Each structure stands twice: as C-alpha cells, then as structure tokens.
Amino acid sequence: MRETSPVSSPEADQGEGWHEPPRPRRDLIGRPSSFSAEMAERIVQRLLDGVPVARMCREPGMPDPETIRRWRRADPEFDGLFRFAQEEGWCELAHQVVADLESALAAGVPVERVRLMFDVRRWLLARQAPEFFGTGKRRRGRRQGNL
C-alpha cells in the first residue's frame, strides 16, 4: 500500500490533517520601510545637522539609502524638503569648518597646520557634495577626458 502525502489525502480535501507551518513574525525585523511624517522629520533634522545620508542610514531605526531614494521619487514634497535640508546641512558644515579654523588660529596653531586642516575638510566637503562644493567639472556617472 502506497502512503499518500497530507496534501493529496482525503483529509486534506476536507481541511483536516494538514496545516501550513507557522510563519515567523516579520513586524519587528529589519529597517522601517513605510513612510511616516515622524521618520521624515528625523531624516530632515539629521540632514540639517550636516550628517551624510550614508552615516545617517547606519544609525539604529533609520531606513537604508535605497528606501530614502524611493520615498523621494514617490513624494515630491519630501524630495524638496530633503534637498533643502541637505543644502542647509552642507552650509552648516562649512560654517563649522570656518569657526573651527578661526579657533585654531586664535589658539596659536601654526598657519601651515590650519591650512592643512582647511584643505582636508574642504576635500571632504567636496567629496560629500561635489555639485555644491566642488569645482563643477566632476559630474556623477560621466568621465572627464580620455581615460
């Protein structure tokens, strides 16, 4: 006599004897993927503080960068607020650099060292926001010159 699986047995046709295994709860696993006003406010505040998106997304409870890009594409209002906050954050970082350099000069740090501090921070800002702080020659996704 051949054994039958519960799926093909008469009991299965009547709804008895076969049950799907329980699925794991997924409501507490992973990063937030649904847009909310509270999450948008947190993102905008971090941008205003000058925190880069990549660093912000590594913080607990924050969505990944692709989720933020998807939200920006889906919601033009959020995208505009995001752009504004990001640019204001970059300006805040630039003001902070100037204030730090002025403090270093006032504290008697040698000018050569202050110049090096400025060059490094300027390079970092240009890497973070090339369209905003860069020379304008570098465009994302395009090569310059013959390589």
Amino acid at 12: A
Threshold 0.75, pTM exceeds = no
The parts of the chain modelled with pLDDT lower than 70 are: 1-33, 135-147
Whole-number pLDDT of residue 145: 42
Helix (H) or strand (E) holding 79: helix 76-106
Cβ–Cβ under 8 Å, residues 64 and 57: yes
Whole-number pLDDT of residue 146: 39
Cβ–Cβ under 8 Å, residues 117 and 101: yes
Domains, the chain: 34-133 (1.10.10.60)
Whole-number pLDDT of residue 47: 96
Whole-number pLDDT of residue 130: 87
